Structure 1
């Protein structure tokens, strides 16, 4: 088994467990983003603190560098990550409330999957004496345990918000509310990507500031020897790479791509998809193995 780090190793990045099982890079990327969206939506409905939601998303992203989506569903692991992070950040939530919220979100996603209007959606609460609740409860307990086990209990998460404020002060941008708001938003959106498991926090914060200032057309010193990101020991190529990962979230997706992701929230659906796409998935996996 590969050595576990808060930041993924090169081998884990090049050949993730999901990729080894035949899941294409673009599908894994979309499933990671969708799982984090579910965590974010659940956090809002539960009125959970932002630090707990952000920590859950980071743990969720780390998990997929050591485990395949063929073994665990993004819905279950997202639920387990939020439950664990809420305890780590000392703002615990009730298991029953979390299960109810995820049941609501998954029902609404299934409703949209069949082409029905969201306005027509009606939630049907589960019976606490039926199998659904106890199946989800078991899945939640297993997910939390597996996150702890597979991450080697290394669940410390450094969040970027304090660093952002400090950097904006150095750049004398704290008086620009629009810059602060946009950069903060980019940091939140970045949780839908694996960048928090790939790069140090200063690099990610610099990328958020870069995107915000460029969108607002605010010039910052960018010519050697006075490059602003060098103040924070960030490498330009890494900053640019993180910015690209964030911007990929906003690309247009077809209805087919959206539905494919929603329909692969649990491991059974992923396994069925892999069986149906076995020739193509297998060739992708083989080529990936040969590269490494």
Structure 2
């Protein structure tokens, strides 16, 4: 597979997956998982509003997720989810054919994180007013200059944490090639395949950090074909693409679990805003400690 090295990503090590910087700072695992999930949703929403291509948004999500992994990664007790999300999206877009200005990025995040105007339920659980006041998400010139400096600072932190490794290989193009190779002409299978690959970006199991793009592509195709009732071939075709049965089984189960995970997160935070700032994380941890002490 050496000649295919350009289609591979650097994966997280078992040691990095065992402990994160956030957990070492006392952030509970379930809270970290919820905040990271909300951060991915925030990154996606910002990318859509900035009209960035889906591949750029997906790469930014992987960069964002990488930042929090391992003892040497960023901690939720030290970095705001908003800042890291904005930095990952700004940096990824800058390295693509669709760069965006710092002002555009910061304006979008100011809007998305405005409690009274945000269309995101984990920011504004009470719902969006029909005519939100522009003042609620206006970024003044002075505030912009401060936020811009902070954006550049966090971008540098993201680069240092990743050892300046920003390259992300996505499985989507690989999946398309595999579908053509397998002579799968069903549009519904292709659609479901890409849907599973996009959903996997939100996985609490960090699938894009633990498995190579070819394995993600094969698993998404396998699951999509099963769901659509389309038979591919009789033989164990996934082995042709260097994926063994054990890895295939794990990834299929993980991808199938995404709907339940998303529902669990929505129900768990029903009516509450997910803390995305350092102060918000600290308050949530204090509330949990106080509740535990009363039991």
* Paired residues, number: 272
Superposed CA RMSD in Å reads 2.6
The residue correspondences of 1:61-100 to structure 2 (distance < 5 A) are: 61-65=65-69, 66-100=73-107
TM norm structure 2: 0.82
Alignment of 1:235 with 2:244, yes or no, is yes
Structure 2: runs of 5 or more not aligned: 1-8
Look up the match of 2:113: 106
- Give the whole-Å Cα distance in 2 for the aligned partners of 1:169 and 1:106: 42
The residue correspondences of 1:77-156 to structure 2 (distance < 5 A) are: 77-107=84-114, 108-109=117-118, 112=121, 115-118=125-128, 120=130, 122-124=132-134, 125-131=137-143, 133-156=144-167
State the shift of 1:205 in Å: 0.8
Look up the match of 1:191: 201
State the shift of 1:243 in Å: 2.9
Contact kept in structure 2, 1:110 and 1:262, CA below 8 Å:
no
Post-superposition CA distance 1:59-91 (Å, at most 9, x none): 011111122222112211111000000111232
The residue correspondences of 1:215-234 to structure 2 (distance < 5 A) are: 215-221=227-233, 226-234=235-243
Structure 1: runs of 5 or more not aligned: 282-292
- CA distance 1:213–1:256, shift in 2 (3 Å): closer
Look up the match of 1:18: 22
Look up the match of 2:264: 253
Alignment of 1:50 with 2:54, yes or no, is yes
TM norm structure 1: 0.83
Look up the match of 1:275: 286
Structure scoring higher RCO (CA < 8 A, sep ≥ 6) equals 1
More displaced 10-residue stretch of structure 1: 185-194 or 77-86: 185-194
Q: Which residue, out of 186, 192, 196, partners 1:182? A: 192
